[in-house]
Amino acid sequence: MTAGGHERRWAIVILAALALLALLPLTAPRDDVLNFVFLILLAITLAESWNIVAGYAGQVNLGHAAFFGLGALVTRMLWTEGAPVLLAMAAGAGTATLFALVIGVAAFRLRGAYFAIGTLALGEILRTTVGNVLPEISTLPAATIASYRLTQRYYLALGLAAVSVIAVAALATSRLGLGMRAIREDEEAAESSGVGALSLKLTALALSTALAGLAGGLFAYYHISYYPSHPFGPHWTFDALLMTFIGGVGTLQGPVLGAILYIVLKEYLALRWVDIHLLIFGALFVGIVLLLPGGLVQAAERARGVLGGARRAA
């Protein structure tokens, strides 16, 4: 892999696209268009944040929803108590990261599938506990609803998606990212050549969960009412995982492409086949995995390779 150049080019392309999306509210589109793009932007942030631990440090974290949920929980509490939303989001992200570091020390003793199962269990335990302790639906006060502006949420989502893309691009081209990839490929070999595996994994987890916490904060700022345990639901983890793998894990552009495809497909099916859309979605999904095992990025590379080979032969 050519170090960095590839990622930098993609980062420029994605950021340019996001800059174009910044013009969208100026054209005064319908709210549903903004809401739809918001969903994609939130999905990009979530997928890129998951990609950091899975794609660079090589650890499949199935408890990602816990950090998204914690970010949402803390942000919602502070913000509805009157704190400025950005401050509340920062506190939410901080809480998520702190929790991740505490849990990470124990969880990273687990390898491979055990890490996946352990983190899944952690996330679920947190979800049930929050559901038990805070069973009431959380709704914004009437005054806040009256002053609700969708464009503010939209720009925040846009900014967050840009931050996550920049963070992953910076990581991919840095020494830190190189160390993480060394762990992913062969942990023992990396350790014996002086790479501190645990501290690098914890760094990856901290960065990933900070972004997930911010995304959770955005969710809390965006939704008028929801059950506090909802953002802890395992589908947030699996959404992030599916989008990242469909696109291409361990690449910058993969999760972005995956997120777009995933949200567009899911929303389209939900509109087209209301009551059986999840059945079709699940089946389609299995098909994609079987046909494109390396995700869209690898499929595109293979296609380019085949085309290039044909051109050379001609």
Partner 1 sequence: MSVLAQQLLLGLLIGGLYGLAAAGLSLVFGVMRVLNVAHGELIMLGGYGAFWLAALFGVDPFASLVLVIPGSLLLGALLYWGLFGFVVRAHEETRIKNSLLIGFGLALALHALAVRLWTADERSIPTSYGGAVLSVGELSIPLVRLATLTLALVLIGALQLLLSRWRWGKAIRATAEDWQAALLTGIDIRRAYLLAFALGTALAGAAGTLVTVAYSVSPSIGLEWTLKALIVVVLAGLGSMLGTFVGGLVLGLAEAASAATFGGPYREIVGLVIFVVVLAVRPRGLFGR
Exactly one of 28, 143, 271, 290 binds partner 1 (CB under 8 A); that residue is: 290
240 binding partner 1? (CB under 8 A): no
189 binding partner 1? (CB under 8 A): no
Whose tokens are 């639906």? That residue is: 137
Residue closer to partner 1 by CB (options 134, 178) is 134
Residue 29, token pair as written in the block:
């589109």
- In angstroms, what is the minimal distance from the CB of 185 to partner 1? 10
- In angstroms, what is the minimal distance from the CB of 138 to partner 1? 17
281 binding partner 1? (CB under 8 A): yes
Residue closer to partner 1 by CB (options 112, 196) is 112
- In angstroms, what is the minimal distance from the CB of 218 to partner 1? 24
First to last CA, the chain: 27
- In angstroms, what is the minimal distance from the CB of 307 to partner 1? 26
Residue window 121-150: x/- pattern of binding to partner 1, with contact defined by CB under 8 A: xx-xxx-xx--xx-----------------
For residue 305, give the 3-state DSSP assignment. Answer: helix
CB 244 within 8 A of CB 254: yes
- In angstroms, what is the minimal distance from the CB of 304 to partner 1? 22
CB 297 within 8 A of CB 281: no
Exactly one of 12, 16, 150, 283 binds partner 1 (CB under 8 A); that residue is: 283
Residue 34, token pair as written in the block:
């903004």
Largest CA distance in the chain: 69
Residue closer to partner 1 by CB (options 22, 106) is 106
CB 86 within 8 A of CB 214: no
286 binding partner 1? (CB under 8 A): yes
Residue type at position 260? I
Residue partners of 15: CB distance under 8 A and separation at least 6: 162, 165, 166
- In angstroms, what is the minimal distance from the CB of 183 to partner 1? 13
H helices within 81-196, ranges in order? 85-107, 113-133, 142-146, 150-172, 175-185, 187-192
